[in-house]
């Protein structure tokens, strides 16, 4: 990743070289497509051209700490500040596919972290409202997204349990942090026909990635999909 600008300057005025490490991005996307095709549990989606294009257009090294940038195109979790993590790219891709985002959808993201998942949602045309409980992470994510020219994102510092009521209803809600149970406030903020995807389970125990769907008749169904391990959803 090549940056042009003075340290500490307004990153919205910086230029990001999107051609840097393009070969590594292409190799990672090919590996993700292969993994999702061959290793996914039954009933889960493969990698679509739309999500593949978003991955190819989003430089993951920009969203990793400087000392982790060499590992940005390995399919692995990377550490962030304050005990948070940058999720494994294949899991990010799968979660993005499961939300079935369409251009213009209103999406709530809980646990923005460094902003990588946010960037993918924005590239798919979603109007993203992002919550991040750690102010420094939120501010850094906002600068990165601005540097990429992604303007369809609004970030706020706060925890995810109560959602974002004044921006609801949402077509989709995604959480990158685990709750002990599905928060009722998030279900309430789903539009009929909407989807909520989040890890459910204790911070130090077994977690399941769960898909919660609200029908057009407001009936709610919950389906566990696969075992995962995420940091806990923090209450501020």
Kindly state the DSSP code that residue 149 receives in the 8-state scheme. Answer: T
CA-derived radius of gyration, the chain: 17
Kindly tell me the number of DSSP H helices and DSSP E strands found in the chain.
6, 11
Pairing of strands 106-110, 85-86: unpaired
How far is it, in rounded angstroms, from Cα 148 to Cα 146? Answer: 5
Residue given tokens 């999702």 in the structure block:
36
How far is it, in rounded angstroms, from Cα 53 to Cα 55? Answer: 5
Q: Active site residue: 87, 90, 103, 114, which one? A: 87
Kindly state the DSSP code that residue 83 receives in the 8-state scheme. Answer: G
Residues forming beta bridges with residue 221, ordered by sequence position: 213
| Closest C-alpha to 59, from 100, 15, 97, 91 | 15
End-to-end alpha carbon distance in the chain: 34
| Closest C-alpha to 144, from 176, 117, 107, 172 | 117
| Closest C-alpha to 152, from 190, 126, 184, 177 | 126
Residues listed for the chain? 236
Catalytic: 103?
Answer: no
Catalytic sites, residue numbers: 87
């Amino acid at each position: 990743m090549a940056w042009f600008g003075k340290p500490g300057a307004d990153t919205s005025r910086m230029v990001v070289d999107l051609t840097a490490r393009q070969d590594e991005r292409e190799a990672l996307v090919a590996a993700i497509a292969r993994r999702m095709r061959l290793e996914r549990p039954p009933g889960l989606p493969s990698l679509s051209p739309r999500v593949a294009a978003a991955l190819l257009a989003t430089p993951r090294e920009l969203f990793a700490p400087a000392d982790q940038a060499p590992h940005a195109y390995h399919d692995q979790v990377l550490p962030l500040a304050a005990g948070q993590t940058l999720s494994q790219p294949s899991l990010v891709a799968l979660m993005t596919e499961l939300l079935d985002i369409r251009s213009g959808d209103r999406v709530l993201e809980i646990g923005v972290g460094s902003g990588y998942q946010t960037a993918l949602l924005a590239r798919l045309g979603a109007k993203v409202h992002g919550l991040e409980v750690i102010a420094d992470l939120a501010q850094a994510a906002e600068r990165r997204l601005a540097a990429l020219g992604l303007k369809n994102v609004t970030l706020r510092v706060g925890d995810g349990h109560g959602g974002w009521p004044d921006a609801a209803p949402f077509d989709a809600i995604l959480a990158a942090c685990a709750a002990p149970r599905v928060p009722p406030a998030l279900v309430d903020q789903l539009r009929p026909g909407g989807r909520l995807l989040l890890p459910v389970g204790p911070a130090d125990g077994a977690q399941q990635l769960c898909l919660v769907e609200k029908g057009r008749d407001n009936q709610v169904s919950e389906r566990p999909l696969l075992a995962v391990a995420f940091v806990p959803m923090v209450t501020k």
